[in-house]
Amino acid sequence: MTPDLSSVDKTAIQKVIEDNKITLWLNTTGELASKLPLYLLEGGWADSGKMISCVHASDEDAKVAAQENGDSSFLSYSVSFEDTTTPRTKVVHISSSLLLQGALVDPLVSRYSIIYIHQYHVRTIQMDIVIGLLKKVLKKRENLRVLISGASPESLDFLSVYLIAPPKISLEANTYPVDLHYVNISPGNYVDTALDVVLSSTKPLATGGIIVFMPSRDIGRFQDQLRESLRLAEVSMNVDALFSVSELLRLESSVLDFEHPAHVIVTSLPAELVARRLAVTVVIDTGFEEVKYSRYGFATVTKVEPVSQEVANIRTRIAGLSKAGRCYRLYPQNSFENLEKTRLPEIGRLALDHCILQLKSLGVDNILHFDYPHPPPSHMLAEAIDRLASLGVIDNEAHLTRPFGENVAQLPLEPSHAILLVSSLQYGCFEQIASLVALSLTKGDYFDHEKWLPFIAQEGDALTWLNIYESFLRMGRDKSWCRKYGFNETQLSRSVNIRDQLLRILQHRRIKIAKTELATSTAIRKCIASTYRRNLAFRLPDGSYQTMSGSLIMKIHPSSVLHVQKSIDWVVFQETTERNGQFFIKNITVVEKEWVD
């Protein structure tokens, strides 16, 4: 669906932006999002030699948004370890993290004439810091303009208070009526009910798509049951599951006409993301979504929770974008009325280590007094400060240590990866750790224990992946070798490129590096143990592990090479996941307890 700008009163919108430092844009349908930067370009915002910056919540969102406009010499994107900007660039799509990185050397973000913040309702930690930073910058830059879009009135109502009532505009495509139905079901029975609703919806559905929103843990079962039911009913209908943006883009390109024949999508992705690419006329909302929380500073747990009213309304709205539609909410109306208005933003539920490092590197001395759009809980700030202090990143007065803490804060990496990389200089294993950090950003969770047996290291996952990476280089990055063992050649090649860029970033930041080609397995594992010391766990008689911090009982994830090992006493882990109340640890390294004491 191509947004139509012909009906937009461009003169009126241009005047609102020119006359106000901050403008809020209510964009409930997601329409016009990709075209607005081009409209700003048409309005002359890049004529002064400065760029128009479109800020997104993630690297992936920024890349996708840039690519939606096709090839253009004046439109680029800049994300972690990939920058396509040129001297001719006038519009740049950038992640919020990269904008903050740029502010380290350009505190007034003077490269940009207008900063367009896309989909603020997502409320990532970095997005909130960007808003707080720009509020300060606007006091010093009279000619800077900030445009903030959100898919719900609730998110912008909140900003209206924080930013002291800036003007609000609405640019919307035409929408059609949506017939809303509430379905009373027994608790936890939404999979079977969604199945019944889909089957009943296929009969009157001549054209259009059906989309089902449900947690990813239930999607496989639902998809299998639906396909079997359609087969028995002799109904021809495509059924696709979407777990990621890349899968959505592949489906968009393969489904030439989503309206013929009828099509079913089941997904856990945000509704506004799907709506811009696939026309739907029937929405089935199970009333649940996945929300991430941090526990004990190391365990990021994905919980299935009731949606907010904001999310429910966005899901409903997309049924009427292409023509009149229907939405089935698989919960009673009084349950909707009791839902929270909006979801708790990330800054209130995720670890704040990265947030603190970003603020410190931006020169914010007192992080408690920073003007947050949504102030984080004080106990979460205290816990993050304690973790960073225990790793030597900040001192007793909460200042970045020199040079270690300052070096860590300068790197465009998550704190644990940055600490691991800088620590490797002390342990004499920089070359190997640089490879592991690059791999961690690309490798995914898949592991074939049988095919990859020649590369498995008894010391754990890190050493195993290092064996794979070094073998890949020795084989000249050969595609046939990758096919033989089932490796993803694209991911491994990207790891090589990211590693090269990390080296250039370190040199640019004047962080001294040294070649360590002969580093031992022990040195590498000691470095990992030092960084992840709070993730130390010991083996229990039943084969599970108990963490020293928090005393959580965890099991080794099946993707780990140590899954079948029974006699390993002490390990550190880099990741956790949770399913049905059971924690699993991933990216595990065998260590000695005295290394951490």
Closest CA to 68 of 93, 90, 86, 89: 93
Over residues 438-459, the mean pLDDT reads 86
- Indicate the burial class of 555 (C-beta count within 10 angstroms; 0-12, 13-18, 19 or more): middle
| pLDDT score of 524 | 96
pLDDT digits (tens, 9 = 90+) for 150-192: 888 888 888 888 998 788 877 665 678 999 999 988 767 899 9
For the ranges 13-17, 74-78, 134-138, 362-366, the lowest mean pLDDT is seen at 13-17
pLDDT digits (tens, 9 = 90+) for 265-279: 999 988 877 777 777
| pLDDT score of 302 | 81
pLDDT digits (tens, 9 = 90+) for 190-207: 999 999 999 887 665 555
For the ranges 20-29, 34-43, 200-209, 218-227, the lowest mean pLDDT is seen at 200-209
Contact between 307 and 340 under an 8 Å Cβ cutoff? The reply is no
User: Cα separation of 301 and 340, whole Å?
Assistant: 20
For the ranges 448-452, 473-477, 593-597, the lowest mean pLDDT is seen at 448-452
- Pick the residue with more confidence: 256 or 449? 449
Q: For residue 306, is the peptide bond before it cis, meaning its omega torsion is within 30 degrees of 0?
A: no
pLDDT digits (tens, 9 = 90+) for 92-114: 999 999 999 999 889 999 999 99
User: Cα separation of 139 and 107, whole Å?
Assistant: 13
Residue 52 three-state SS: strand
Over residues 540-548, the mean pLDDT reads 93
pLDDT band at 260 (very low <50, low <70, confident <90, very high): very low
User: Cα separation of 501 and 497, whole Å?
Assistant: 6
566 vs 541, 545, 563, 569, CA distance in Å?
10, 11, 8, 9
Average model confidence (pLDDT) across the chain: 87
State the DSSP code for 475: T
Strands (E), 236-324: 238-242, 263-267, 282-285, 288-295, 299-306
Q: From the CB of residue 368, how many other CB atoms can be counted at a distance below 10 Å?
A: 12
User: Cα separation of 554 and 546, whole Å?
Assistant: 6
Residue 551: CA count within 13 A, CB half-sphere = 0
Over residues 556-567, the mean pLDDT reads 87
Contact between 282 and 321 under an 8 Å Cβ cutoff? The reply is no
Domains of the chain with CATH codes? 10-170 (3.40.50.300), 178-343 (3.40.50.300), 411-579 (no CATH)
Structure token digits, residue 360: 């410190």
pLDDT digits (tens, 9 = 90+) for 328-346: 999 999 999 999 999 999 9
Residue 117 has pLDDT above 90, yes or no: yes
Residue 87 has pLDDT above 50, yes or no: yes
| pLDDT score of 193 | 94
What is the strand order of the sheet 91-95 is part of? 82-83, 75-79, 91-95, 51-56, 112-117, 145-150, 22-26, 168-170
pLDDT digits (tens, 9 = 90+) for 353-400: 999 999 999 999 899 899 999 999 999 999 999 999 999 999 998 899
Contact between 204 and 226 under an 8 Å Cβ cutoff? The reply is no
| pLDDT score of 115 | 97
DSSP per-residue letters across 287-298: SEEEEEEEETTT
Q: What pTM does this model have?
A: 0.88
Residue 250 has pLDDT above 80, yes or no: no
CA-based Rg of the chain, rounded to a whole angstrom?
A: 25
Contact between 597 and 570 under an 8 Å Cβ cutoff? The reply is no
| pLDDT score of 160 | 87
User: Cα separation of 190 and 566, whole Å?
Assistant: 39
